[in-house]
Copies of this chain bind each other. A is one copy, B any other.
Amino acid sequence: MVLKVYGPHFASPKRALVTLIEKGVPFETIPVDLMKGEHKQPAYLALQPFGTVPAVVDGDYKIFESRAVMRYVAEKYRSQGPDLLGKTVEDRGQVEQWLDVEATTFHPPLLNLTLHIMFASVMGFPSDEKLIKESEEKLAAVLDVYEAQLSKSKYLAGDFVSLADLAHLPFTDYLVGPIGKAYMIKDRKHVSAWWDDISSRPAWKETIEKYSFPA
């Protein structure tokens, strides 16, 4: 029974998908219809009690939180594919550091941009222009730190691609695409080179080709 990923068409679950594809792990996907509120029904809440995507079921084992799924997959299949956790305790520390930066510092302002630029009208709430401006300023300050870091090493955690880089893919893909703020990446030389590198990895291309957001 192969591993199942719930909610593949949304952004956060793509952190799990790209990791599974990088590691060559077979999986299947199960759509979750957020528009119909399927994520708030008992069957789904039994897998993910907060009612968000993704949820993952691996045989008898259940796990949620996209970045935890990434770590679980990278650890369980450590011996195959790229070592996305780093080879030493010190390297893994840097991977964990930048994974946490993504989760707690990079993602929140980008999520605000996503919700208020891409989804406000679809979800029926007014787009908050003040919040959009503040969020872009916060994200710009974060990207300035990334620019300095990526002038010192090719990837965030060092000279090896890791979960820390891959975790940025789904929402940065929104930033340079439907959010319409590609300049935030392109205007920073090292961030731009990093983005070109990670977003052209075959595993990411496969992820967005197979699981694009439903039109």
A98 shortest CB reach to chain B, Å: 8
A95 shortest CB reach to chain B, Å: 8
Which bucket holds chain A's interface residue count? 20 to 34
Query: Contact: A68 with B93, CB < 8 Å?
Result: yes
Query: Contact: B67 with A100, CB < 8 Å?
Result: yes
Residues of chain A having any CB pair with chain B under 8 Å: 49-50, 61, 63-65, 67-69, 71-72, 75-76, 89-90, 92-94, 96-97, 99-101, 103-105, 107-108, 142, 145, 148-149
Q: Can you list 25 A-B contacts (CB < 8 A)?
A: A49-B145, A50-B101, A50-B142, A61-B90, A63-B93, A63-B94, A63-B97, A65-B96, A65-B97, A65-B100, A65-B101, A67-B96, A67-B100, A68-B100, A69-B93, A71-B92, A71-B93, A71-B96, A72-B90, A72-B93, A75-B93, A76-B89, A100-B103, A103-B103, A103-B104
